[in-house]
Amino acid sequence: MLIRNARLADGRDRDVRIDGERIDAVDSGLTADSDETVVDADGRLLLPGAIDVHVHFREPGYSHKETWRTGSRSAAAGGVTTVVDQPNTDPATTSGAAFDGKAALAATSLVDYGINGGVTPAWEPESLFERPLFALGEVFLADSTGDMGIDGDLFASAVDRAAAADVAVTVHAEDADLFDDAALEGAGDGVGRDAPADRWSAYRTPEAEIAAIERAVEVGTGRGATIHVAHTSTPEGVDAATERGATCEVTPHHLFLSREDLPELGTYGRMNPPLRSEARRQQLFERLADGTVDVVATDHAPHTITEKEQSLTAAPSGVPGVETLLPLLLEAAREGKLSHERVREVTATRPAEIFDLPRKGRIETGMDADLVLVDPEDAQSIRGSDLHSNCGWTPFEGLCGVFPDLTTVRGTPVYADPDGPEATLVDDDGFGDAAGRNVRTDR
């Protein structure tokens, strides 16, 4: 394939030739061979495919919420070409056998993937570390979906094992001792969008996150481990991680939503860690824009509408987001709040650097041809009914996003807008049929 007349994130106009799975050339005035498919970008933006280092595709055990097939289709339609799945499935990915079972299901993925190993009191590190793990984590320091929270001693032991194996540790940092139980008194009244979801935000306090980040990073870096803090929801948490030598990610829901949205969202806005004040949301976005934040990842955690239509104390935590990650950031760029270079950095370049993916994250000769072609001015309203996750809803309903026209994984088109100029490159439903690969076995 030859993509002509594309604009890169740094503003350069270039042609990009793909040979097999790799980028063969990035230059001006490239001439098409007779057997090449030619895509005229016509000045549209060409980005490296996004790497979402935090998804929950729910298989095995919860396929009514999401499957590797539906989750990866949603990823491809949003311009995400690599995902990293977390361990809180059923069974949890805490042993070599559980890893193998999940890897067999992941073979249906349209996009490339990594699989994280998890930690529980009953985990089997010997067999787990024999497998091609992406990282150890999400290591839960407080219970969330799957009840995998662990204590400080087990965390320290797990960090030692990971450091010895040269495996990064991704941490869900909340200190349950600092939760405000009084905030949930009477919170069972109302269901779904009528539930008092602000109580959940008051319950899982900012202080619980900040203190847990400080301790986790101190323990981890003190043992020579690479620590990455997941879904950091407060500006103080970002500072606590980055100033102590860890990397951190923030989510789109913490960047674009706040407690002010909870009266409309109800239980659809319940997640861990919860939404914060509007002031903290703005400060978090400032840290994204100024370069402090390393990665934007989604914590894509779908639940069905039936599951969310319960009381605040009964509904599960989590929101979908893999398909709207790049569109929301590109809309922020369209509005002048971010540069395209910054979008590229937090969705592709930095994730690849932090987690040692040497052939991903950049548009350069020799790199995997994971590419996203998008009209940066084509803003669309986000509707859950238009997205491809199994759960059928989105917390970003009605916000604007800039969605891809074409997504390729290692040179193969996996998604094209059915109404766009590249529609003929895929099937009638907009999707190709490329098989994703584990990025830890293909470096």
Q: Report the pLDDT value the prediction gives residue 140, as an integer from 0 to 100.
A: 74
Q: Report the pLDDT value the prediction gives residue 15, as an integer from 0 to 100.
A: 98
Q: Report the pLDDT value the prediction gives residue 135, as an integer from 0 to 100.
A: 97
Q: Which residue has the tokens 């989604």?
A: 298
Q: Report the pLDDT value the prediction gives residue 434, as an integer from 0 to 100.
A: 76
Q: Report the pLDDT value the prediction gives residue 443, as an integer from 0 to 100.
A: 47
- At 264, list the tokens: 């409309």
User: How many Cβ atoms from other residues are within 10 Å of residue 189's Cβ?
Assistant: 12
Q: Report the pLDDT value the prediction gives residue 142, as an integer from 0 to 100.
A: 65
CB of 201 within 8 A of CB of 167?
no
User: How many Cβ atoms from other residues are within 10 Å of residue 159's Cβ?
Assistant: 25
Catalytic member of 175, 294, 299, 370: 299
What integer is the mean pLDDT of 164-182? 95
| DSSP secondary structure of 271-295 | -SS----HHHHHHHHHHHHTT---E
Question: Pick from 146, 255, 272, 250: which is nearest to 201 by CA?
Answer: 272
User: How many Cβ atoms from other residues are within 10 Å of residue 224's Cβ?
Assistant: 12
Q: Report the pLDDT value the prediction gives residue 147, as an integer from 0 to 100.
A: 64
pTM over 0.85: yes
Q: Which pLDDT tens digit goes with each residue over 351-381? A: 999 999 999 999 999 999 999 999 999 999 9
DSSP-assigned letter for residue 30: P
CB within 8 A of 3, min separation 6: which ones? 15, 16, 17, 18, 39, 41, 46, 371, 373
Query: Predicted confidence band at 189 (pLDDT cuts at 50, 70, 90)?
Result: confident
The mean predicted confidence, pLDDT, of the chain is 96
What integer is the mean pLDDT of 175-182? 95
Residue 82, strand partner residues: 51, 112
Residue 171, strand partner residues: 139, 229
Q: Which pLDDT tens digit goes with each residue over 78-96? A: 999 999 999 999 999 999 9
What is the three-class DSSP state of 269?
A: helix
Position 174, amino acid = E
Q: Is 299 among the residues known to form the active site?
A: yes
Least-confidence region, from 4-18, 135-149, 334-348: 135-149
pLDDT at residue 126 tops 50: yes
pLDDT at residue 6 tops 50: yes
Q: Which pLDDT tens digit goes with each residue over 135-167? A: 998 887 765 555 667 788 899 999 999 999 999
Sign (positive/negative) of CA torsion 129, 219, 52, 367?
A: negative
Q: Which pLDDT tens digit goes with each residue over 235-268? A: 999 999 999 999 999 999 999 999 999 999 999 9
- At 17, list the tokens: 């030739």
Chain centroid to CA 323: 9
Q: Report the pLDDT value the prediction gives residue 148, as an integer from 0 to 100.
A: 60
- Counted residue by residue, the chain has a size of 443
What integer is the mean pLDDT of 170-179? 94
Q: Report the pLDDT value the prediction gives residue 150, as an integer from 0 to 100.
A: 72
Q: Report the pLDDT value the prediction gives residue 138, as an integer from 0 to 100.
A: 84
Tell me which CATH homologous superfamily contains domain 49-363+377-399. Answer: Metal-dependent hydrolases (3.20.20.140)
pLDDT at residue 37 tops 50: yes
What is the three-class DSSP state of 19?
A: strand
CB of 115 within 8 A of CB of 103?
yes
CB within 8 A of 212, min separation 6: which ones? 141, 142, 173, 174, 175
